Amino acid sequence: MTALSVPDAVDRSDLGAFIARVVRLDQVATVRLRASGATVTAWASTPFDVLATRSVLGTVVPADVTVPAAGLLTALAVERADTVNPGTGGLWLGELPPTEGWAPVDTVPAAELEGLTERGLAVARENAGPLGPPASLLDQTVLTVTRASGGPAIKVPLRCLLALSGMGFLGDADPGGDGGVVRVSATGTWMRLDARYGAVVRRRLTALPLLVG
């Protein structure tokens, strides 16, 4: 039987809030739960083609399992127990970023990102078609950050900020504390934005297709 154990009530509430936002954005979404030591990390896709993630103290058996987000939300919200059955039958499409190799790039005030997101949302609404905003608009760079020591610039597209906002990760930030900043980190091919209530992750580079001779 699949079992998710999150002993701390605050962690369970935080995880439940994360899953609720996932379901709000996509009612048929799936969530991938992965155990690492004493931590369980939840991963979910978003409509912005950006991954959202949240980690809490706990365990999950099996150690890597994909479940329907709606079923997991029901288990967390209704059962309210230390250990719940998150369900089975979820299908995960795509890859996850590496667990190692991340390097900090810079921190950005959350209020600055909120302003950029509001302006981006206004432009997206003006240019939305039957299928939503065009991909070319979502891929536009709205923020560029670089390490103080130099190195390649990290270009953050609008879709990453929309995912941060859509998941509620920028809400209720405390300007005077850690909640008032978003930490940007990167590997050679991935970028990650960590806010107070969760993080979004996206590939920086698209793998080149294999050439067939």
Examine the pLDDT at 150 and tell me if it is beyond 90: no
**103-203: same fold as 3-84?**
yes
Average pLDDT over residues 176-200: 87
d(CA 97, CA 57): 20
Is residue 160 classed exposed, middle or buried when 0-12, 13-18 and 19+ CB atoms within 10 A define those classes? buried
Identify which of 206, 211, 205, 197 has the alpha carbon closest to the alpha carbon of residue 22: 197
CB 43 within 8 A of CB 4: no
What's the predicted TM-score (pTM) here?
0.89
The pLDDT assigned to 210 comes to 42
pLDDT band with cut points at 50, 70 and 90 for residue 136: confident
Q: Spell out the domain ranges in the chain.
A: 3-84, 103-203
pLDDT tier at 149 (50, 70, 90 boundaries)? confident
Task: Give the per-residue pLDDT at 207.
Answer: 46
User: For residue 28, is pLDDT > 90?
Assistant: yes
Rounded Cα gap, residues 200 and 202, in angstroms:
7
Write down the pLDDT at residue 213. 37
pLDDT at 208: 43
Confidence label for 205 from pLDDT (cuts 50, 70 and 90): low
- The whole-angstrom separation of Cα 53 and Cα 199 is 5
**103-203 maps to which CATH number?**
3.10.150
Residue 17 confidence (pLDDT) above 80: yes
Average pLDDT over residues 156-161: 95
**CATH superfamily of this structure's domain 3-84:** DNA Polymerase III, subunit A, domain 2 (3.10.150.10)
The per-residue pLDDT for range 67-105, each reduced to its tens digit, is 999 999 999 988 888 999 998 888 998 899 999 999 999
